[in-house]
Amino acid sequence: MIQLDQVSKRFATPQGQTFTAVEPTSLQIGAGEIHGIIGFSGAGKSTLLRLINLLEVPSGGRVIVDGKDLTALSKTDLRTARRNIGMIFQHFNLLHNRTVAGNVAFALEVAGTPRAQIAARVKECLDIVGLSDKTDSYPSRLSGGQKQRVAIARALASHPQILLCDEPTSALDPYTTRDILEVLADINARLGVTIVIVSHSMSVVRAICDTISVMDAGNIVERIDLADSVVTPVTEVARKLLDDVPTNVNVRRLNALRAAA
């Protein structure tokens, strides 16, 4: 589904120097997988995430999504391809002069979707995230968790196969964090959407992910498979990230147990 082939990203500093945020890095994420990208601040994890949909254009390498090399597409074709990739941000990025329904509808309106189809899709997306009763509310009247649910619904509006989540729970309290992770896990289970989630919290990615990439100084230094009953990190940075992490039940396993009860 997602293949990063020796992608890198360099930025020019105001002093005229070059800063490398992502060293040449390769990564493969399978369809339907929930993959976490974890690391300390400045490791390059958010930049790597934004390379997947070319919000950051790679300085080198290729980005292949669903068999298409995004780095080789024209601007028009890239805009079309991006409709298959939803994005969820840390600070919600909602339009405060629009209602909940208006925020979810916005991208569909820009794409020229017929009004009747927009109304039906907005209802579907708000049902998925449990906000059907907030259709006419404005963001200022919502809690942080509700705002993030609106952002998730907006990202789902165009029927994406991929959701990119850039620290979607870092501004939320632990209870609301668990709530949002359950929403994401449910979307993955019900719709088969591939999810890539960036976090600085090991407890967050352990709760929801199948696999984890550990980043340090712009490099992926380790890949961890959470299907293993015992996780034994081999790098120092991964060991530090795993320290003091409480045992956590995988959200999708918890949902499966609830469904079977």
CATH code: domain of residue 238: 3.40.50.300
- At residue 229, the pLDDT reads 66
* One domain for residues 112 and 219: no
Is the pLDDT higher at 151 or at 261? Answer: 151
User: What mean pLDDT is predicted for residues 161-179?
Assistant: 92
* One domain for residues 116 and 164: no
Number of domains within the chain: 2
User: What mean pLDDT is predicted for residues 57-75?
Assistant: 96
Q: Are strands 68-69 and 2-12 parallel, antiparallel or unpaired?
A: unpaired
* One domain for residues 116 and 234: no
Lowest mean pLDDT among 103-107, 136-140, 216-220, 239-243: 239-243
* One domain for residues 181 and 55: yes
* One domain for residues 137 and 175: no
* One domain for residues 134 and 165: no
Q: What is the pTM of this model?
A: 0.90
User: What mean pLDDT is predicted for residues 110-118?
Assistant: 91
Q: Which of 225, 248, 231, 227 is nearest to 174 (CA)?
A: 248
List all residues 6 or more positions away from 232 whose beta carbon is below 8 Å from its beta carbon.
none
* One domain for residues 154 and 167: no
User: What mean pLDDT is predicted for residues 115-124?
Assistant: 95
Domain span at 244: 2-84+160-260
* One domain for residues 70 and 46: yes
User: What mean pLDDT is predicted for residues 235-242?
Assistant: 86
* One domain for residues 169 and 244: yes
Is the pLDDT higher at 196 or at 203? Answer: 196
User: What mean pLDDT is predicted for residues 183-189?
Assistant: 93
Q: Which of 106, 137, 159 is the last residue of a domain?
A: 159
Distance CA(175)–CA(169), nearest Å, equals 10
Whether residue 94 contacts residue 103, with contact meaning beta carbons closer than 8 Å, is answered with: yes
* One domain for residues 33 and 129: no
Distance CA(23)–CA(21), nearest Å, equals 7
Residue 205 CB coordination number (10 Å): 27
Is the pLDDT higher at 230 or at 1? Answer: 1
User: What mean pLDDT is predicted for residues 104-123?
Assistant: 92
* One domain for residues 205 and 112: no
Q: Which of 106, 124, 159 is the last residue of a domain?
A: 159
Residue type, 169: T
Whether residue 139 contacts residue 150, with contact meaning beta carbons closer than 8 Å, is answered with: yes
List all residues 6 or more positions away from 187 whose beta carbon is below 8 Å from its beta carbon.
128, 152, 156, 163, 193, 195
* One domain for residues 254 and 177: yes
Q: Which of 159, 188, 218 is the last residue of a domain?
A: 159
